[in-house]
Structure 1
Amino acid sequence: MVSKVLVAYGTTNGSTAQIAEAIADILRKEGLTVEAMPARSVTNLESFDAVVVGGGLYAGRWHKDARRFVRRHARELSRRPLWLFSSGPLDASASERDIPPVPGVGRTMIRLDAREHVTFGGRLEEGAKGFIARKIVSSGKGGDFRDFRQIEAWSARIGSELVKEPPSS
């Protein structure tokens, strides 16, 4: 059985962090020991047997902290069970259909042999950081499009898979 899981994330306005915490909570309910941490604060992966990495999507790219994390820890990530998620569409599309990873995340999946990627809806609300984000909100196109039932179901599948397999070496 896997003993410890890292959920690392890159976020600007906190939405992806909340998704990461929800994933961590479900994995804990599956009996796993889990740490959810900002990707930029992770220094090594030695104590983790599996990893979930997520990033908010901005202009078709994963959050810079998530991109840097997977580059910096590529060797270690390729030796562990790995799942990736993105958050971002500011509409219901992520709940209605499977949205493929953006090109950079797709390449990361292949390079690191990630088991799966999913795109969840995003959230952008009043007080968002960044000029473009504020413009989106002021134009009425913001909101919270995260589907926590979808997030919980995906996390539970990961948890079930992890409790069945031996730790990585």
Structure 2
Amino acid sequence: MPHLAMYTFGVLKSALADPTPLTGEFYELGEAVYRTMGQQPGYLARAEAAEGDRGLLFGADWGAWGGFAVPTWYEKGRTVETTALAATLSLWTDQRSAFDAVYTGLHRDALNRRYDWFERSGHPNYVIWWVSDGAIPTWQDGVSRLEHLHDHGSAPHAFTFHHPFTSEGTPTRMKDIGPTSDPVR
């Protein structure tokens, strides 16, 4: 049975190493969000660096998830001291489970504060797509699909919760998701 892959990407207003209280709040809430997301129904896995070092993204060992990659529009730093981004790559059993995890609870609270931490841009900040059972998406897969979504809009290859597709590539609609329910795009 296919699984849903989700890649999220945002450019932070300040570097991850910034010692300000706002960055500290982002980390605290982010760590709690990761813990709760991992307990959500339908959650399968997420990319985690083998070392688990905070801020070490580009040089980390991501195992089967591949080398860390970012979209072409990311123009900030790439060192522990200068990196100013947040990205996730995860696997879910289905669209509804992923949607519910993103738009409820603690993650919803974080979304409500996203403009405290993230720059606004004309780029999408998440993309979802189907992968075959047992497949592990790579960071580069996520970047390629996010860039495809930006350039071409939703398609079976790269889509959003607002314009979803079945694993067979047929457009579909999720109940209770309408034009105002997808604030991230």
Question: TM-score, normalization: structure 2?
Answer: 0.29
1 or 2, which has the higher helix percentage?
1
1 or 2, which has the higher strand percentage?
1
Question: TM-score, normalization: structure 1?
Answer: 0.31
